[in-house]
Amino acid sequence: MSMGLGAITSCATSNATAIAAARLANNRQGHDSSSSVFRNQQLRRQVLVQSSLSSQHNKDARVSCLTNNDEPEVPSLSTRATSSSGSTEFSSIGSSSSLGLSLEIREIDERCKKWQWRGYTISYLSVHGRREQVLNPDSNSNSDYPPLLLVHGFGASIAHWRRNILTLAQSYTVYAIDLLGFGASDKPEGFSYTMDVWAQLILDFLDEIVQRPTVLIGNSVGSLACVIAASDSSQSLVRGLVLLNCAGGMNNKAIVDDWRIRLLLPLFWVFDTLLKQRAIASFIFERVTQRDNLRNILLSVYGNKESVDEDLIEIIKKPANDEGALDAFVSIVTGPPGPNPVQLMPRITLPVLVLWGDRDPFTPLDGPVGTYFSTLPAQVPNMSLFVLEGVGHCPHDDRPDLVHEKLLPWLDDLLPALEDPNQAGYKWRMVIAYDGTRFSGWQYQPSPPTIQSIVEKALTQITKQERRDLHLVGASRTDTGVHAWGQVAHFVTPFNYDRLDSIHAALNGLLPSDIRIREISPAAPEFHARFSAKSKIYHYKIYNSSIMDPFQRHYAYHNVYKLNSDVMREAAKHFIGKHDFSSFVNASHNDRSPDPVKNIFRFDITEMVALLLQIGREAIPPDVVPKILATRDRKELAKVALPAPPHGLCLVSVSYNEEHLRLPAGCPSISFGRHHSISKCKLPFF
């Protein structure tokens, strides 16, 4: 959930003021919190806005208003989970009530796993889609069910999805994550939290843990983080979005065009100033996280008061006692609000489902963000919006039955798109070389230009397929300025080719001269350019001379100081073997492993090169390498070396097992490019 700044500020003063501020923000007439929203009637009123259906372009756009008169029957479920050894059983996992199937907080805590991300520990839950089975935390098995990722809002955690996980897990593989600074994940002191950090965390989680196209489901700021992630991601990672009362920013200061927020802005600025005083911030945080204050805040944002139970209060309160929780609170409340969904949604071409509780005091339906999303279905054909009457800021926990009633059919319709796109059609492998000087790395971005975006543009012209249908994936997401001689990528087409030399020549004809397809071949259905890779070889070139060779200036780092290559080789030996490379994980690096303990490192080579350069200059001794590795802290590395420039780095090759490189039957042979015969035409200038 996302506790609004107006309510939090007032709560530090008094409980009554907190509720009043929340109601002021809502500014609605005729909403009686004591009205019966759970009447057991069999009628359901659904209002379709026909104006959006008038044109052929918008024939699929839907806006619905769902009342609370319908109480769907909740099926009972006896859940059984067996460990990998088959010796442990859990009977009657979770509980069934009028709010649906629910997991206990204890059960969630017991099943959570840990994942290392940029040197921080992130907590996540994985519940596989086998009916009546909950994943054992020690199991590494995978499920064939399509994956979903649940992302909580401000102040919440994985357990806030307690009433959704089991219902969704009957048909899907459900992942839920504690964002950095929340739940059981790390809360680093002094960390500057931003929406972009959380969005990158989501993308890396999909890339390293899920490893399949995923539907993102978020609430409040979790929704906004999902929108940012989807706008930055290629179609191979995110396949759909479900937004539950999407926030307008990391904090309410983003929504400056709402008169209710403008009215409170002076209070926000004063509050920010006060929070910068540690003693005052500690006092306010302690008051906000008291059980009675939390209960009052939750009651003000939930339409169904029965959903505000002691477990919910514990879900919010428990992580607030962790070390670093105060720093996270201050950073998020006083930090920059970050991107606005109004700016981001035009980039989204994925199917989107928006569910909005109409009693939300923080992002009201008639506010700027709610109004914007209300108008989108008339403009975007693959987007649906349902308004849930009598529901507050956290629909999934407030009225899970209403959320499931809309979410499950939407997911069922989306199911064919969630299936592995590589199972149907033909897969093709490319070996690509490029000069990365003028590109912002490999990974797709609308702008500035990236290798992937330019290759995709050429492929769409040749294959006549949409970008999202190509599913182009590269083996390594090289950073800005990094070059490649042996980058490997794959893409998918619904048709076969008789010969590949024609498409090979056409691709190179459309691509700029600093990108070349060296090789193109058929690929087995199970081949994946990134996840099938066994190893990668990178070279970093250092030009050690007082005068730089002008022809090498874009491809080698110029070092004017004489280097002692012997001590550099001695120091480099410390990298060989199994180590925790957390100290060398660059915060901006996109090609990282889910576990920093590796036999062969897959981290920021420029960090390692920088350290070796300092050793080669004899500024520090070679034995500093194992000491820095032992700290598992990038701050220790930063004390002695800054990253080396990226232009000296080149991806030389990617290797795969033989079974991944086998050519499927009935496909054309590998194309290495056409060899043109010598022309007999005599040209006068030759």
Average pLDDT of each block of 10 consecutive residues along the chain (686 residues)? 40 32 34 33 28 31 39 32 28 44 90 93 84 46 76 96 92 94 94 92 93 93 95 76 93 55 56 71 86 94 95 95 91 85 86 94 89 85 89 96 91 64 75 96 80 94 88 89 96 92 95 96 89 89 94 94 91 81 57 42 69 91 88 79 89 91 88 68 48
pLDDT of 580 reads 74
pLDDT of 113 reads 94
Query: Does the 426-532 domain belong in CATH 3.30.70.580?
Result: yes
Q: Would you put residue 34 in left (φ > 0), alpha (ψ -120 to 50) or beta?
A: alpha
Distance CA 231, CA 346 (A): 9
pLDDT of 251 reads 67
Structural domain boundaries in the chain: 105-253+339-414, 426-532, 540-650
pLDDT of 206 reads 94
pLDDT of 457 reads 94
Question: Do 426-532 and 540-650 show the same overall fold?
Answer: yes
Catalytic residue among 204, 358, 435, 479: 479
Contacts of 211 (CB under 8 A, 6+ apart): 531
Query: Does the 105-253+339-414 domain belong in CATH 2.60.120.1140?
Result: no
pLDDT of 561 reads 87
Rounded to the nearest angstrom, the gap between the alpha carbon of residue 605 and the centroid of all alpha carbons in its chain is 24
The CA-atom distances, in angstroms, between 375 and each of 51, 54, 280, 361, 420 are 11, 14, 42, 20, 32
Distance CA 575, CA 259 (A): 58
pLDDT of 257 reads 53
540-650 fold: Alpha-Beta Plaits (3.30.70)
Active site residue 566: no
- The answer to whether the CB of 211 falls within 8 A of the CB of 181 is no
Please give the torsion angle defined by the CA atoms of residues 91, 93, 95 and 101, in that order, rounded to the nearest 10 degrees: -130
